[in-house]
Amino acid sequence: MNFPFGYNKDCTNKEQILAKVRSAILEKDENHFTDINLQNDTWIPFKDDDGNEFTFIERFKENGGIFMYFEEIEHFKEAMQQFVVENGWSPLLTTSPLIKEVFADTEIDFYDDYNNLERKKNVSIIDCECLIAQTGSILVSDATAGSRAAYSCADTLLILARPSQFVARMKDAFALMKDKYDDNQPAGMTIISGASSSTDIDNTLVVGAFGCKQIALFLVE
């Protein structure tokens, strides 16, 4: 029997494995990924002078997100009441103290028992930590959302944000969290980059397989 380079039938298992590795290195294979430029940046190109707001909006929408801007909080509250009625979203799930405060004087019906989520309308609304321009992503945490169930279990996720929450890069988002919470970081943090999707089942694209099917961001001055 012929053995690969450096292989001996009397070798230990470790030596046999190392011999196979050496053999594989010597036997160069053709490159099956000629269309991939390994010299390119892994991250999406981004310059600080691109404008965090416009870059985020563009990439958030590319990720499949719905973006809406409101100049005043009252306009947003009026629009939300209309959205709830037109889409049959009542009641809305929220465990966010800020959201409850914002809509305290409206007729929107909320509940915070996320254990009953499936028996409700499967729509939740939360606030967030920051908006990451480079990837069009949203950083959310248990500290502001109240519970990770509010942003991980609903089919439709609505998020409230302010213009002051834009950051340029992922590292800026983590620096913000470090400055804000210091050694008392939230138990749960998630970066959301559009609706959840997966091809794990029969290589078929399934939207909402491991999270929300639809995400909308409301930017309010």
Output the six-digit token pair for 3: 């053995």
For the segment 204-220, the average pLDDT, to the nearest whole number, is 70
Q: Which residues lie closer than 8 Å to 113 by C-beta, 6 or more apart?
A: none
Write b or e for each residue in 181-203: b if 16 or more Cβ atoms lie within 10 A of its Cβ, otherwise e: eeeeebeebbebbbbbeeeeeee
pLDDT at position 57 is 92
For the segment 147-167, the average pLDDT, to the nearest whole number, is 87
pLDDT at position 121 is 58
The answer on pLDDT for 59 being more than 80 is: yes
Write b or e for each residue in 117-136: b if 16 or more Cβ atoms lie within 10 A of its Cβ, otherwise e: beebbbbbbbbbbbbbbbbb
Question: Mean pLDDT highest for which of 11-20, 41-50, 60-69?
Answer: 60-69
Q: Would you place residue 46 in the very low, low, confident or very high pLDDT band (cuts 50, 70, 90)?
A: low
200 or 55: which leads in pLDDT: 55
Return the amino acid letter for 23. Answer: S
- DSSP-derived letter for residue 31 is -
For the segment 21-40, the average pLDDT, to the nearest whole number, is 64
Q: How many CA atoms lie within 13 A of 193 on its CB side?
A: 9
131, 138 in Cβ contact below 8 A? yes
- DSSP-derived letter for residue 135 is T
Return the amino acid letter for 179. Answer: D
Share of the chain above pLDDT 70, in %: 70
User: Radius of gyration over alpha carbons of the chain, in Å?
Assistant: 24
For the segment 36-63, the average pLDDT, to the nearest whole number, is 72
Q: Would you place residue 27 in the very low, low, confident or very high pLDDT band (cuts 50, 70, 90)?
A: low
129, 105 in Cβ contact below 8 A? no
5, 22 in Cβ contact below 8 A? yes
Per-domain boundaries in the chain = 48-220
84-93, 112-121, 149-158, 212-221: which has the minimum mean pLDDT? 112-121
Burial of 150 (0-12, 13-18, 19+ CB in 10 A): buried
214, 66 in Cβ contact below 8 A? yes
74 or 200: which leads in pLDDT: 74
pLDDT at position 132 is 95
Q: Would you place residue 206 in the very low, low, confident or very high pLDDT band (cuts 50, 70, 90)?
A: very low
Q: Would you place residue 7 in the very low, low, confident or very high pLDDT band (cuts 50, 70, 90)?
A: very low
CATH of domain 48-220: 3.40.50.10420
pLDDT at position 193 is 87
3 or 71: which leads in pLDDT: 71
